[in-house]
């Protein structure tokens, strides 16, 4: 992948902080260096460099992603977490928060992210000769 999304909604939840940290460690800096994970190259997996990391912008962000076409899948996925959700239905909350994020942006539903750019668009175009 050249873009990585990291969920940081519950900043004080230790599991979420650990998962976000592990995700960042997985994509930078070692992921693009083939000599670091030689066993993966031996399996035919090529090293890659992630261009951008999208961290959920709880409390502020700089990029809005339209989630109108995927919000039903998000709600269904949350409902699968029976051990954490129990009988509570996340749909009203998810729809409210997503509608608030999309308000004024011509999006019925959106999520807000802070984007960390690891490779600029210009540098990535040079690396790939313009093919993505």
Total number of domains constituting the chain: 1
Write phi, then psi, for 47 (nearest 5 degrees). -65, 150
Q: pLDDT band at residue 6, thresholds of 50, 70 and 90?
A: low
> Residue 90: which CATH number?
3.40.50.10320
% of the chain exceeding 70 in pLDDT: 86
**Domain interval for residue 24:** 3-128
Residue 30 sits at the vertex; the CA angle it makes with 19 and 61, to the nearest 5 degrees, is: 50
% of the chain exceeding 90 in pLDDT: 39
Q: Is 87 helix (H, G, I), strand (E, B) or coil?
A: coil
Rounded CA-CA distance 110/95 in Å is: 9
Which residue from 63, 36, 55 is spatially nearest to 47, judged by alpha carbons?
Answer: 36
End-to-end CA separation in angstroms for the chain: 11
pLDDT given for residue 3 in this prediction:
64
pLDDT given for residue 1 in this prediction:
56
């Amino acid at each position: 992948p050249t873009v990585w999304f990291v969920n940081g909604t519950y900043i004080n939840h230790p599991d979420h902080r650990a998962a976000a940290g592990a995700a960042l460690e997985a994509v930078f800096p070692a992921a693009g260096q083939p000599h670091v994970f030689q066993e993966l190259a031996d399996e035919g997996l090529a090293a890659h460099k992630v261009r951008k990391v999208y961290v959920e912008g709880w409390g502020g962000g700089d990029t809005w992603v339209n989630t109108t076409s995927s919000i039903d899948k998000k709600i269904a996925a949350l409902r699968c977490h029976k051990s954490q959700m129990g009988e509570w239905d996340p749909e009203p909350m998810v729809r409210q928060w997503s509608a608030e994020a999309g308000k004024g942006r011509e999006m019925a539903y959106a999520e807000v992210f802070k984007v960390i750019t690891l490779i600029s668009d210009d540098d990535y175009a040079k690396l790939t000769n313009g093919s993505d």
